[in-house]
Amino acid sequence: MKILDLCDVTMKFGGLTAVNNLNMYLNKGEIIGLIGPNGAGKTTVFNMITGVYTPTSGNICFGDFNESIINKKPSDIANLGIARTFQNIRLFKDLSVIDNVFIGGHLNVKSNIISSVFRTKKYKEEEKKLYDKSIKLLEEVGLKDLMYEKASSLSYGKQRRLEIARALNTNPEILLLDEPAAGMNPKESLELMDFIGSIRDKFNITILMIEHHMQVVMGICERIYVLDYGEKIAQGIPSEIQNNEKVIEAYLGVG
Q: Which distant-in-sequence residues (6+ apart) come within 8 Å of 95 by Cβ? A: 103, 150, 151
Going by their DSSP bridges, the two strands 57-62 and 67-68 should be labelled as antiparallel
Choice between 29 and 183, CB closer to ligand ATP: 183
Choice between 78 and 227, CB closer to ligand ATP: 227
Choice between 4 and 143, CB closer to ligand ATP: 4
Residues 35-74 that bind ligand ATP (CB under 6 A): 36, 38-44
Under a CB-based contact definition with an 8 Å cutoff, are residues 140 and 113 in contact? no
Shortest CB 4 distance to ligand ATP, Å? 18
Q: Which distant-in-sequence residues (6+ apart) come within 8 Å of 126 by Cβ? A: 109, 110, 111
| Residues 10-39: x where in contact with ligand ATP by CB under 6 A, - otherwise, as a string | ---x--x-x-----------------x-xx
Q: Give, to the nearest 10 degrees, the angle between helix 156-168 and helix 97-105.
A: 30
Residues 109-168 that bind ligand ATP (CB under 6 A): none
Binding residue count for ligand ATP, defined by CB under 6 A: 11
Contact between 9 and ligand ATP per CB under 6 A: no
Q: What angle do CA 37, 42, 47 make, to 5 degrees?
A: 155
Choice between 18 and 82, CB closer to ligand ATP: 18
Distance CA 231, CA 240 (A): 18
Shortest CB 235 distance to ligand ATP, Å? 16
Shortest CB 44 distance to ligand ATP, Å? 3
Distance CA 229, CA 168 (A): 32
The contact set with ligand ATP (CB under 6 A) reads 13, 16, 18, 36, 38-44
